Amino acid sequence: MSGVKLSNVRKSFGAHDVIKDVSLEVPKGEFGVFVGPSGCGKSTLLRMIAGLEESSGGRIEIGGRDVTQVEPAKRGVAMVFQSYALYPHLSVAENMGFSLRLARAPRHEREEKVREAARILQLTDHLDKKPSALSGGQRQRVAIGRAIVREPDVFLFDEPLSNLDAELRVQMRLELTRLHNQIGATMIYVTHDQVEAMTLADDIFVLKGGHVMQAGRPLALYDDPDNRFVAGFIGSPA
Ligand code: ADP
Ligand code: MG
């Protein structure tokens, strides 16, 4: 298991400074949430941790190892996206085991990991079904299952619930908390939804315009916001 540490991380797209000197740490086994309005740089930051986006400066450490120049597959992270495409012609089990097949893992090992992920996600009775036969929430669980079978040290979630309806989002939030308690991996979760952030996070990082405005435990931010932006965003009446 590994924590994630960013030191003075920056990202520019041309002349546009999207991430400006971000330093933060999500200790190992914790659930960290990056929250902020659309366009503040949440996805860019997450993609840099995953190695899908090159940083323009600074240092990214996972489990104490400098991974700033390490390729994505060797960082020990798995990412779950907002819009997840499942393979329609493959079963749930085949969808979940796909990356292991690409990595040429032996069949018995693949099957065992898929079975374990299905157990955690309550998909055991659906393993032979095609994605089209699943509900929206079940499909999202399959997408999370694809990450679980890879046994990453760090899970990265980019607004994974934002395409689900309100009722299902509440249910999936509870499931994510349960998942975190059960497997204990470090998780970093990106959202623009304050309620989601408050209910899921061990630590919240409030972002605005490529800066961390404030970081801390949800209740600490709620009770003692540093500034009006955080107060307004987290919803305290300060
Ligand atoms: P968020 O996820 O918080 O909504 P993003 O990280 O997606 O924000 O984007 C932050 C800013 O970076 C936005 O202004 C966006 O337009 C810009 N941006 C993101 N990706 C690129 C890219 N590949 N090229 C140019 N600009 C980008
Ligand atoms: Mg985004």
pLDDT at 204 over 50: yes
pLDDT band at 1 (very low <50, low <70, confident <90, very high): low
Instruction: Using alpha carbons, list the distances in angstroms from residue 134 to 130, 146, 237.
Output: 7, 16, 42
- Ligand 1-lining residues (CB < 6 angstroms): 13, 16, 18, 36, 38-44
CA of 73 to the centre of ligand 2 (A): 21
Ligand 1 centroid–CA 17 distance in Å is: 10
Using CA positions, which residue lies closest to atom 20 of ligand 1?
44
For ligand 1, pick from 18, 22, 211 the residue to mutate: most ligand atoms within 8 Å of CB.
18
What is the CA(170)–ligand 1 centre distance, in A?
Answer: 27
Record the tokens describing residue 238, joined without a space.
């300060």
| CA nearest ligand 1 atom 5, residue | 41
Ligand 1 pocket test: pick from 11, 40, 44 the residue with the most ligand atoms within 8 Å of its Cβ: 44
The DSSP bridge partners found for residue 24 are: 6
Helix runs in the chain, H state only: 42-50, 92-102, 107-120, 136-148, 166-183, 194-200, 218-223, 228-234
Judged against a pLDDT cut of 70, whether residue 236 lies above it is answered with: no
How confident is the model over 82-112, as pLDDT tens digits? 777 899 999 999 999 998 998 899 999 999 9
The model's confidence at residue 21, banded by pLDDT at 50, 70 and 90, is very high
Q: Average pLDDT over the chain, rounded to whole?
A: 93
133 near 196, Cβ under 8 Å? no
User: What is the percent of the chain where pLDDT is above 70?
Assistant: 98
Rg (CA), the chain: 18
Q: Tell me the C-alpha distance between 157 and 207, whole Å.
A: 16
Residue 162: predicted pLDDT? 85
Number of the ligand 1 atom closest to the C-alpha atom of 37 = 3
How close is the Cα of 108 to the center of ligand 2, in Å?
A: 37
Identify the pLDDT of residue 238. Answer: 42
pLDDT for the residue 181: 94
- Predicted structure pTM score: 0.93
pLDDT at residue 142 in the model: 94
Best CA proximity match to 111, nearest among 122, 69, 124, 121: 124
Q: How confident is the model over 157-184, as pLDDT tens digits?
A: 999 888 888 888 888 899 899 999 999 9
Residue owning tokens 């309100």:
166
Please give the ipTM for the structure prediction.
Answer: 0.98
Average pLDDT on 100-125 reads 93
Average pLDDT over residues 12-41: 97
Ligand 1 closest atom vs CA 44: 6
The string over 50-74, giving b where at least 16 C-beta atoms fall within 10 Å of a residue's C-beta and e elsewhere, is: bbebebeebebbbbeeebbeeeeee
Query: In sequence order, which residues have a C-beta less than 8 Å from that of residue 203 and are 6 or more positions away?
Result: 26, 30, 31, 32, 33, 215, 216, 217
- Are 127 and 93 spatial neighbours (Cβ–Cβ below 8 Å)? yes
pLDDT of residue 228: 92
Q: How far is the CA of 84 from the centre of ligand 1 (A)?
A: 19
- Residue 164 or residue 235, greater confidence: 164
